[in-house]
Amino acid sequence: MKVDGGISANLHETIASAKDVEAAGYSGAWTAETSHDPFLPLLLAAEHTQKIELGTSIAVAFARSPMTVANTAWDLQAFSKGRFVLGLGSQIQPHITKRFSMPWSKPAARMREFVLAMRAIWDCWLNGTKLDFRGEFYTHTLMTPFFTPPASDLAGFGPPKIFLAGVGELMTEVAGEVCDGFICHGFTTEKYLREVTIPALARGRAKAGKTMDGFEIVGPSFVVTGNNEKEMAAAAAGTRQQIAFYGSTPAYRPVLDIHGWGDLQERLNTLSKQGKWVEMGELIDDEILNTFAVVGEPETVAPELHTRYGDVIQRISFYAPYRTDPDRWRKVLTDLQSA
């Protein structure tokens, strides 16, 4: 199993964190689009590492156009010598319309078209194919030599792999149909992964006439661990609040529904509108915490992750929304990679 780490998106910290992730033996490293741009740090990471894959988990697709993302991804793939993975996500409607001031409609269909448009652009640049993409949401029909990067940029490795993050079945099917991998949202349980996510991915692959062979799934990975009771309590508290935050989102209710916890979403949503973040975390009891997260001392984490997901995912990255000692993860990393 590939194990991935995270890179700081703060450009003053990126180089050191990228070097640390590679030195620790991780297979890949991801940036996230939160308070910083997800792409810029990867340029620095590519310059100061040699082997690890570098990707976005995630970049918000609908905040951009297929052309701008295709261009940025092309340059990162070229500069990293084939080590870049383009991880995309849709975000939710309020962020797209109110934060990014961009259009929102039919997110699954729009994402499918977004990915296909990028592939058409790359095909034009790599193979000289006439750019003539006409869709419901995006149209790309103009490309001149002046704006065409040389195909030699990607000689020997081709365009980057595209991974898509999602929760709902329609978006998950799109990932299976047009992408190379799927990033499970942290707000995913083993039951939801096996009963909803994987069947949806398989349907998407079937639409494209493909099997699951070669398709990579990045598994869910909330982990609560520590070296003593105080550390464990702090880790659990931070994770409860993060689970509660995601659980308040209406689009993620199906994950709660499959466990019979659907009513919890409405309670969390009400509290979120009141800014009662601590109170939200208190609604996440031990049963819910242990369903979403692997909870235990460091030596127990890898075996439990393998038990839950070892037969269905190809790579994993730890999601620990609390202050943590990097040394804590060394045994977990070693155990996962050697199993």
Instruction: Summarize pLDDT for 11-23 with one digit per residue, the tens.
Output: 999 999 999 999 9
Beta bridge partners of 181: 163, 216
Q: What is the pLDDT of residue 322?
A: 47
pLDDT tens-digit map of 60-114? 999 999 999 999 999 999 999 999 999 999 999 999 999 999 999 999 999 999 9
The token pair that represents 234 in the structure block: 């702090």
Domains and CATH numbers, the chain: 2-229+298-338 (3.20.20.30)
Q: What is the pLDDT of residue 330?
A: 72
Regarding pTM above 0.85, the answer is yes
Whole-number pLDDT of residue 332: 75
Please tell me the predicted confidence (pLDDT) of residue 324. 57
Residue 50 near residue 79, CB atoms below 8 Å: no
Residue 227: the pLDDT is 82
Q: What is the pLDDT of residue 63?
A: 97
pLDDT of residue 337: 73
Residue 149, number of CB atoms within 10 A of its CB? 15
Nearest CA-CA partner of 205 in 226, 174, 233, 235: 174
How far apart are the C-alpha atoms of 108 and 175, rounded to whole Å? 9
What is the bridge-based pairing of β-strands 133-134 and 139-140? antiparallel
pLDDT < 50 stretches in the chain: 322
186 backbone dihedrals φ, ψ, rounded to 5°: -55, -30
Two structure tokens written together for 151 = 């195909």
Identify the pLDDT of residue 320: 57
